[in-house]
Structure 1
Amino acid sequence: MNPDPKSATDASFARLRRHLHFLYHGRARQARLFQACVITIDLLIIAFFIATPMIRDASAFLWYDYAIAVVLALDLICRGLAETRILPWLRRPTVIVDIFILVTLLFPAYLANLGFLRILRLWSLSRSGFLWRPLTKQQVARWRQPLEAVLNLVTFLFVASGFIYTFFFRASPGFTGYVDALYFTVATVTTTGFGDITLPGPWGKLTAIVTMICGISLFVRLAQAIVRPYKVFFPCPRCALQMHDPDAVHCKACGEILAIPDDGE
């Protein structure tokens, strides 16, 4: 009796989803190597997004743009198939941001003024946790919060620079105009205020105000993440509190006796 083609197709599709789940969420060596490769490609794509204002007039720019759109579309499809519940996954803010970035890549002629928002891909990678997958639990506990604070600040700097370049420095295209926008952003965020580059009109002043407020907030968040005492990842068996002091004997939430291993174990 011949097997049902539909059943065979469903079984193959289920195996594909299990394999993708293993690659994207697994902790084995093969999965970590795959995740490291995906992260490397993502960082190269983010570097392209940062350089976009300087190479937008290149003859091959649209080819690069569409090639990256294909890569991001494949990545989104694979990530979705790797999830056990696709609809809740689609509602996540990081996924919505990635879909928006994909739309800007597919329609660059119509959404050129929103291209600076593509840098949010760095935030979505960090916020989704995928950027930290190749790390061990101890490394995540030690480094994730300060590195997230650094990446949030870097993301804001480049998003703000892209916005300022798009709406205030388009008269100076290319490298010079983008450097002027980045220079103004950094000088504003740090409240240095040299005054050699300013934004014209009331909208320019409002942009500078928003940049200063957001920048100061992110700097404070970065300082808190660096100064905050180091904690280890060790879930409490009773209340599931995950972060504890390295020398903790009892859980500070429920009083359960802990047996936190040393870093060398």
Structure 2
Amino acid sequence: MAETGQEGEEVSSTEALRRRLRSLYFGSDPRAIAFQFAMMMVDIAIIVFFLMGPYLRAGHAYVLVDYVVAAIIAFEIVARILVAPTLRYWLTRPMTWIDLFILATLLFPNQLANFAFLRALRIWAISQSRLFTLVLKRRGYGDYEETIQACINFLIFLFLVTGFVYSTFFYGENIIGFVDALYFTVATVTTTGFGDITLPGTLGKLTSIVTMIIGISLFVRLAQTIVRPHKVAFACPQCGLKRHDADAVHCKACGHVLNIPDEGT
């Protein structure tokens, strides 16, 4: 009976921890917002560490910081497991596998050095967070969320390709190699093609092809969000069309009279 009671207490404690974590991760009260903001700041610090990796790798403290970051990510993985409705839901989330890969590269930096470029995907995790959207809206940039997201996607792609090119073709050349990889990526994405830096072999050619195809697509998408007329997010009560001109009086799809709130009032 005592064991049953102890087991019941353990289950109860686990459930209480889950509820507490869920309230912190998904809540909107000041304590939850503060927790989410702190986690976002930690993510930003981790991203800076990742991007500065080629410059800091020669230092003696690099490995220590590497394992500290691994401990933080491991803690977040455990917390995400607890707040997930089911284990299956947790396993189907893209960020779950990204975090697991990142954790593996941190725990085994020498063996998995070629996969370190995946760490740049932490930027995408921040851009997908609810707090990020909330901050944009509070700062008055909610209507530009699509443009900001396009910028972030383009930057993530640049860092991913740069990291892959550096780890595959320039690893070991430290700062010079990383700058060369970034220079090659930007020149390829913009289709400038100076030709002073080229990747050798079949893998190099395939990397260049994929970079040009995906990169120019993201670049065009970014240009479209910047150049096209600004629209506001307001669902039409009649047909449900979600985006309209800021000064629209009638819905373009069904002609229903709109009453779009003016943020300046």
Q: When the two structures are superposed, what TM-score results if normalisation uses the length of structure 1?
A: 0.84
Letter in 2 for 1:211: T
The answer to whether the Cα contact below 8 Å between 2:136 and 2:145 also exists between their aligned partners in 1 is: no
Distance change (3 Å), C-alpha of 1:25 and 1:64: same
For 2:251 and 2:210, the matched residues in 1 are separated by 41
Distance change (3 Å), C-alpha of 1:87 and 1:174: same
For 2:124 and 2:167, the matched residues in 1 are separated by 20
Unpaired runs of at least 5, structure 2: none
1:149 Cα offset (Å): 1.0
For 1:135 and 1:13, the matched residues in 2 are separated by 34
What corresponds to 2:52 in structure 1? 51
For 2:239 and 2:67, the matched residues in 1 are separated by 49
What corresponds to 1:180 in structure 2? 180
Instruction: State the superposition RMSD in angstroms.
Output: 2.9
For 2:258 and 2:13, the matched residues in 1 are separated by 45
Superposition pairs for residues 207-218 of structure 1, below 5 Å? 207-218=207-218
What corresponds to 2:120 in structure 1? 119
1:21-67 deviations in Å (ceiling 9; x for gaps): 22212222322222222111101111111122232233222211111
1:258 Cα offset (Å): 5.3
Superposition pairs for residues 37-76 of structure 1, below 5 Å? 37-76=38-77
The answer to whether the Cα contact below 8 Å between 1:233 and 1:244 also exists between their aligned partners in 2 is: yes
Distance change (3 Å), C-alpha of 1:251 and 1:14: farther
Whether 1:32 aligns to 2:33 is yes
What corresponds to 1:199 in structure 2? 199
What corresponds to 2:150 in structure 1? 149
The answer to whether the Cα contact below 8 Å between 1:94 and 1:127 also exists between their aligned partners in 2 is: no
What corresponds to 1:167 in structure 2? 168
1:86 Cα offset (Å): 4.0
More displaced, 25-34 or 159-168? Answer: 25-34
Superposition pairs for residues 219-234 of structure 1, below 5 Å? 219-234=219-234
Letter in 2 for 1:185: T
1:91 Cα offset (Å): 0.4
Identity of aligned residues (%): 49
For 1:89 and 1:244, the matched residues in 2 are separated by 36
The answer to whether the Cα contact below 8 Å between 1:153 and 1:215 also exists between their aligned partners in 2 is: yes
1:170 Cα offset (Å): 2.8
Structure of higher RCO (CA pairs closer than 8 Å, 6+ residues apart): 1
The answer to whether the Cα contact below 8 Å between 1:162 and 1:181 also exists between their aligned partners in 2 is: yes
What corresponds to 1:14 in structure 2? 15
Distance change (3 Å), C-alpha of 1:182 and 1:24: same
SS in 1 for 2:52: helix
The answer to whether the Cα contact below 8 Å between 1:188 and 1:208 also exists between their aligned partners in 2 is: yes
The answer to whether the Cα contact below 8 Å between 1:55 and 1:174 also exists between their aligned partners in 2 is: no
Unpaired runs of at least 5, structure 1: none
More displaced, 9-18 or 127-136? Answer: 127-136
1:158-200 deviations in Å (ceiling 9; x for gaps): 11111111222235x2111111111111112112222222223
Letter in 1 for 2:182: L
1:77 Cα offset (Å): 1.9
SS in 2 for 1:109: coil
The answer to whether the Cα contact below 8 Å between 2:113 and 2:167 also exists between their aligned partners in 1 is: no
More displaced, 56-65 or 45-54? Answer: 56-65
Count of aligned pairs between the two proteins: 263
More displaced, 20-29 or 2-11? Answer: 2-11
The answer to whether the Cα contact below 8 Å between 2:234 and 2:242 also exists between their aligned partners in 1 is: yes
The answer to whether the Cα contact below 8 Å between 1:116 and 1:159 also exists between their aligned partners in 2 is: yes
For 1:178 and 1:215, the matched residues in 2 are separated by 19
